[in-house]
Amino acid sequence: MKRLLIITMLTCMIPFVLADHHKDAKSKERKMNNPNRLMNFAECKEIKEVIGGILSMSDGIWKEIEKSPEDEKKWGEVIALSDLASNYSTVYDVWCKDMIKKRMKSRDKAKKKMKKEKNHEKPDN
């Protein structure tokens, strides 16, 4: 009975021991080549800037609409720009928001660690 129990325990523990493969040097490469990763940080930053540019263009057209509200061409332009900004915002939310949040979280963690190490240093006096 003890022998069966030991064999069962060892069999159940093997997957936990072998599950540590994600810490190897190739893990970063696997993350970068993941089919669910569409854009990198620079591309996400560029999309964010594009969204800001589209919204500022839209704001300029709104100011023109306030001056002459009957201009249907301007209404069409502002609708198209709003739709475009909405589409880009959806792409940003889906592909970039979590990545940026994780990056900021890791930066904050690193800053706290540096601050903690700095506070624990003793003066040479």
pLDDT tens profile 36-60: 567 788 888 899 999 999 999 999 9
pLDDT score, position 46: 92
The pLDDT tens digits of the residues spanning 72-109 come to 999 999 999 999 999 999 988 888 887 777 778 888 88
pLDDT score, position 1: 79
For residue 12, is pLDDT > 60? yes
The pLDDT tens digits of the residues spanning 20-37 come to 555 555 666 666 665 556
For residue 122, is pLDDT > 60? no
**Residue 62 amino acid letter:** W
Nearest-angstrom CA–CA distance, 98 and 116: 27
| Mean model confidence pLDDT for the chain | 80
**Phi then psi dihedrals of residue 25, to 5 deg:** -70, -20
Per-residue burial over 17-28, b if 16 or more Cβ lie within 10 Å, else e, is eeeeeeeeeeee
